[in-house]
């Protein structure tokens, strides 16, 4: 079964989020905080924004497909 | 691995996760673009089919109207069985409605895809430029931690 790209993207985002949680359990010095605010947080934020936009667009595309069938 | 190196192991795991994430999201983005292309092509094919159908319906309606006009011109005897063109007219209207419905979807998708394009472009830039820099930065941190503990660098 072919899954929607936005859902796969969200799954990948969860995996990355989990990896960061795991890493931050062992790494919590000032360098970790800088890495979080400078890299991880912007990456997760941008990814969520992109995936939300992708989800909305996929919804519209599917609706168009359904509505013009036949 | 001893627990003193647990942080390095965790960072290596994070580095691997970042690399996997970059490749996976590139693939996701590619599939998203492909889906847009496929649906646009599908709508265009449907529009083309309905345009042809509309042309046919209009031709049939026109021919019917000509028959009706001819019957009227032939006099009252010919109008005992009047030519009814309403079915052709309805069919042409339905074709126009279907075509208009497809056009509206095409316009909406153009607008939505255009808006999405800006967001996708920024995300693509993040995947191609920012994320590799993040990975490099993390590798440098890992190497510095390993060097500080005299841990031999392996597989990085």
Instruction: Give the pLDDT confidence score for residue B151 in this predicted structure.
Output: 52
Of the candidates B139, A25, B18, the residue with the CA atom closest to the CA atom of residue B147: B139
Does the reported pTM lie above 0.90? no
Contacts of B105 by beta carbon, 8 Å cutoff, 6+ apart: A64, A67, A68, B43
pLDDT, one tens digit per residue, over B113-152 is 999 999 999 999 999 999 999 999 999 999 999 898 865 5
Query: Of A6, A8, A67, which is closest to B101 when you measure between CB atoms?
Result: A67
Interface probe with B: pick from A27, A52, A55, most Cβ of B within 10 Å: A27
CA–centroid distance for A36 within its chain: 16
> How many secondary structure helices (H) and strands (E) does chain B include?
3, 0
Q: Token digits for B52?
A: 């042809």
Query: Of B9, B18, B141, which is closest to A31 when you measure between CB atoms?
Result: B141
Contact yes or no for A58 and B32 at CB 8 A: yes
Q: Token digits for A37?
A: 């605010």
- Res. A12: pLDDT tops 70: yes
Radius of gyration of chain B (CA): 33
Distance CA B83, CA B70 (A): 10
Q: Report which DSSP code applies to B81.
A: S
Q: Does A59 touch chain B (CB under 8 A)?
A: no
Contact yes or no for B39 and A57 at CB 8 A: no
A-to-B residue pairs, Cβ atoms closer than 8 angstroms: 113
pLDDT, one tens digit per residue, over B25-82 is 999 999 999 999 999 999 999 999 999 999 999 999 999 999 998 888 887 665 567 7
Contact yes or no for B119 and A19 at CB 8 A: no
Instruction: Give the pLDDT confidence score for residue B81 in this predicted structure.
Output: 72
Instruction: Give the pLDDT confidence score for residue B150 in this predicted structure.
Output: 64
Distance CA B78, CA B147 (A): 104
CB B95 within 8 A of CB B50: yes
Query: Of B10, B113, B120, which is closest to A25 when you measure between CB atoms?
Result: B10
Q: Does A45 touch chain B (CB under 8 A)?
A: no
* CB-CB neighbors (< 8 A) of A67 in chain B: 101, 105
CB B40 within 8 A of CB B109: yes
B83: helix, strand or coil: coil
């Amino acid at each position: 079964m072919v899954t929607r790209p936005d859902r796969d993207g969200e799954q990948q985002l969860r995996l990355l989020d989990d990896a960061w949680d795991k890493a931050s359990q062992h790494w919590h010095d000032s360098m970790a905080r800088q890495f979080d605010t400078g890299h991880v947080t912007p990456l997760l934020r941008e990814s969520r924004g992109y995936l939300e936009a992708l989800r909305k667009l996929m919804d519209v595309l599917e609706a168009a497909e359904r509505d013009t069938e036949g | 691995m001893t627990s003193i190196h647990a942080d390095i192991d965790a960072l290596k795991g994070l580095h691997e996760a970042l690399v996997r994430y970059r490749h996976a999201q590139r693939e996701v983005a590619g599939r998203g673009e492909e889906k847009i292309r496929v649906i646009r092509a599908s709508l265009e094919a449907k529009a083309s089919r309905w345009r042809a159908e509309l042309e046919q319906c209009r031709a049939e309606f026109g021919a019917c109207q000509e028959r009706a006009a001819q019957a009227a011109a032939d006099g009252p005897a010919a109008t005992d069985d009047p030519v009814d063109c309403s079915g052709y007219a309805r069919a042409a209207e339905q074709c126009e409605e279907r075509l208009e419905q497809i056009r509206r979807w095409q316009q909406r998708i153009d607008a939505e895809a255009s808006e999405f394009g800006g967001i996708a472009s920024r995300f693509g830039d993040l995947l191609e430029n920012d994320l590799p820099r993040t990975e490099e930065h993390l590798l440098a941190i890992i190497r510095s931690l390993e060097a500080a503990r005299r841990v031999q660098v392996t597989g990085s």
